[in-house]
Structure 1
Amino acid sequence: MRLRFVEWGGSHDTVAEEAVLPDDATHAVSQNELPMALTRAEGRQVVQRWLAEARISRDSARFALPPSQSLDLGAGDVVRLPGQDGEGAALYRVDRVEQAEAQIIEAVRIEPVVYQPLQVAEDHPRSDPFAAPAPVLPLFLDLPLMRGDEVAHAPHLCASARDWPGAVAVYGADLGGAFALEELLPARATVGITRTPLAAGPVGRWDRGADLEVELIGGSLDSAEGRAVLNGANRLAIGDGSPDRWEVIQFAEASLIAPNRYLIRSRLRGQYGSDGQMPDLWPEGSYVVLLDAAVEQLDLSLSQRRLAREYRVGPARRPYDDPSFVALTASFDGNGLRPYAPVHLRADGALGADLTVSWIRRTRIEGDSWDLEEVPLGEETEAYRIRVMSGPTVLRDDRVTAPSWTYDSAAQAADGAVAGDRIEVAQLSARYGAGPAASMSLA
């Protein structure tokens, strides 16, 4: 027989005590639970008494009494009955009385010695030392659309810690307002730090450059087949920790080289239009986040986009003003609404004569099908911003509604454009504004 209960005097762990009859060959186990706090000795006494009581109660008796002898006999009364085959008298507890012409009595055997306290060795409970709740590492990620069913303007959020508190609460407030619970993160995200730099790489094909070494705070990384990666597996965000600076990459190979340290190879860079966020170099110490179910979207209304708000993130079992909570102020552009940068930017002609600049647009919505003659626009209207730049100075700023623009010689002369100046083309969104720009130098 096995009894589970809460251990008193320690860390209030759920423990079990059991008792076994030494001459019983059966493997059957009767399990019971008590919603009580007991010492281990008390639990041992209870289970031993239950086992002895259960074995003795196998002996039962059924007998009849005339009404004249049973008027004062009821359930719970104890009677003494003579034993069989020369055995001495035994005590029986009446469990059932059936009223008829003669009263039928059903009783089970009892032994008073079973209810006497047993001398059981006491075990000292183990008490874990108090560990104050430590702050977690929260990260906001304002990411582009990846699956397509996300809320386009809402940022993502995750948290990680070596000593995970079980669940993390996210409280938010407008600047100077009252805090309210906005999100509960039940799972620790797989977050790490890069231990080697990552240089810019090719977009749209496999990056088989130098290995990227990362050290994880918690979690693990797994390799995946190339076809699974092309279908969306092993998405990873790399960035500097600010909400807006994240590049989405994917990887096929992750090799464990030391505890919590991995080498990431065979990467796809600048996924989902994040090539506009790819710098010349992600330095050592950049953050990486595995984009799985532990990374959740924040419930942010459309009217709160681009408004600075205050957040407090910490253990869910603590109030938001506890020292273990991390205070943050952040605003989000809603990068799920951001247009992709155009590609294949080219110019026909020469500086000093008419230049015709053309490009191919991309879409952030349903653009992976090969069956379509043209990918969906993804915006309310097709529009582009063209700028001629001389260093940080804007020489010309135009708008067009088709993927082509002519820079005639008269405009070049009026602008004073020279070799080395740049032409930048960005797609426009009525809800977001200009997306990342594709650029080329005048020659």
Structure 2
Amino acid sequence: MRIDPEIYKASPLSDELVGMKAFVAPMPVTPVFLDIPMLTGDEVPHAPYIAASANPWPGSVALYSSLTDQNFGLNTILPLRATLGSTRSPMLRATTGLFDRGDALEVQLASGQLESVEEAALLSGANLTAIGDGSSDNWEIFQFATAELIAPRTYLLRDRLRGQAGSDGLMPDVWPTGSQFVLLNSVPQQIDLSRNMRRVTQNYRIGPAQRPVDDPSFRQMQKAFDGNGLRPYAPAHLRAVIQPDGAVTMTWVRRTRVDGDAWESFEVPLGEESESYMLRVVKDGAIVRTDVLTTPSYVYSGAAQASDAITLPFTVEVGQVSATYGVGLWASTRITAL
């Protein structure tokens, strides 16, 4: 019997085992809702933003919404992980329109990174950031020019511009340690919200986009949004002068939430259906007088003060009124004796 020896030679092909990746269970997504003012003027004014992070990041995140606890429909897809974190030092109140060169703000990120920018880029809108208490509508918008990396994912932020986009009306005396931090780059997106759904509570579910909406990795929450892109800014330069007869003369300057950056006109656009203000006189925390005005001035006569049984000191608050939104943020001044 003849045998061909070639059939006993080893094959030049090697059998390789197929690699198997370890299974990584989907983790819950951390969402942050931001019902904030318009930042560029091109946004949907009544729709809030959402930013999200997860570890590990699932590739993309899906937000579903429903008026009830069932029949959820796809609302928004977030393809990128947002830059989120929290503060590790307090940030005190500062003057708007000037650089805040106070103590550096220490921020620890859960995801993302920060970088310094030149002053020209800062004044063009770079490094826009939100700091808040985690609720959807209490955010101050600020910018920073310098970001110094001092530890893994930990930065010191200096040379800040505070109270941007009219958020100075929400600036507290201090943002405490542990405040939420969100970088407002192109990653956070506005959710789909109809105008008639403002201030209507809805159910939201958020989780990995590759998973069904009823997957255990999804988180559910109830939210209602005011649509703060429609909210008037607080008036500026509120002044009060006590006249010799005891009357208090008050004046202020209105601001606009739309198209207010141009210098060609003598006055900023109104931005609302009509010019209207609400003025409140407050004594010891109680509102003793409320007036609706159509001009940026008011005289609180001695007779009106006597009618209100009020004496110095007291506080005057003024807010611009929108027919769509209602009263915006308040400007206030405390009137004391001469």
Give the whole-Å Cα distance in 2 for the aligned partners of 1:324 and 1:117.
50
Aligned to 2:185: 292
1:373 partnered with 2:278: no
Query: Separation in 2 of the partners of 1:282 and 1:262?
Result: 17
Tell me which residue corresponds to 1:392: 285
Match of 2:58 in 1: 165
* Equivalent in 167, 181, 192 of residue 274 of structure 1: 167
Letter in 2 for 1:289: V
Query: Structure 2 counterpart of 1:353, which letter?
Result: G
Among candidates 384, 402, 422, match of residue 295 of structure 2:
402
Contact 1:427 1:434 in 2 (8 A): yes
Offset, 1:291: 0.7
The number of residue pairs the alignment matches comes to 330
137, 147, 150: which one pairs with 2:30? 137
- Residue in 2 that maps onto 1:194: 87
Tell me the CA shift for residue 124 of structure 1.
3.9
Structure 1 position 420, deviation (Å):
2.4
Moved over 3 A (4+): 119-126
TM-score normalised by the chain length of structure 1:
0.72
Superposed CA deviations along residues 234-293 of structure 1, whole A, max 9, x for unmatched, are: 100111111101111011111111111111100000100001111111111111111111
Q: Which residue of 2 aligns with 1:155?
A: 48
In the TM superposition, what is the alpha-carbon distance from 1:371 to its structure 2 partner?
Answer: 1.9
Determine whether 1:210 maps to 2:99.
no
1:337 aligns with 230
Task: Tell me if structure 1 keeps the 8 A contact 2:113–2:153.
Answer: yes
Q: 5+ residue gaps in structure 1? A: 1-112
The CA deviation at 1:332 is 0.5
C-alpha separation in 2, matches of 1:245 and 1:203: 17
Tell me how far apart the structure 2 counterparts of residues 234 and 284 of structure 1 sit (CA, whole Å).
21
Identify which of 240, 250, 255 aligns with 1:362.
255
Whether the 8 Å contact between 1:175 and 1:308 is mirrored in structure 2 is: no
Tell me, in whole angstroms, the C-alpha distance in 1 between the residues paired with 2:55 and 2:26: 11
Give, as a single letter, the amino acid of the residue that structure 1 aligns with 2:324. R
User: Helix, strand or coil for the counterpart of 2:229?
Assistant: helix
TM-score (norm 2): 0.94
Residue 307 of structure 1 corresponds to 200
2:77 is matched with which residue? 184
Query: Hey, what's the Cα distance between the residues in 1 that align with 2:282 and 2:209?
Result: 50
Aligned AA (1:434): V
Deviation of 1:392 (Å):
2.6
Percent identity, please.
51
| Structure number with larger C-alpha Rg | 1
Residue 128 of structure 1 is matched in structure 2 by 21
- Whole-Å Cα distance in 2 between the matches of residues 147 and 255 of structure 1? 27
- Which amino acid is 2:292 matched to? R
Q: Which residue of 1 aligns with 2:309?
A: 416
Note if contact 2:104-2:156 (Cα within 8 Å) is conserved in structure 1: yes
State the structure with bigger RCO (CA 8 A, min sep 6), 1 or 2.
2
Counterpart of 2:81, as a letter, is R
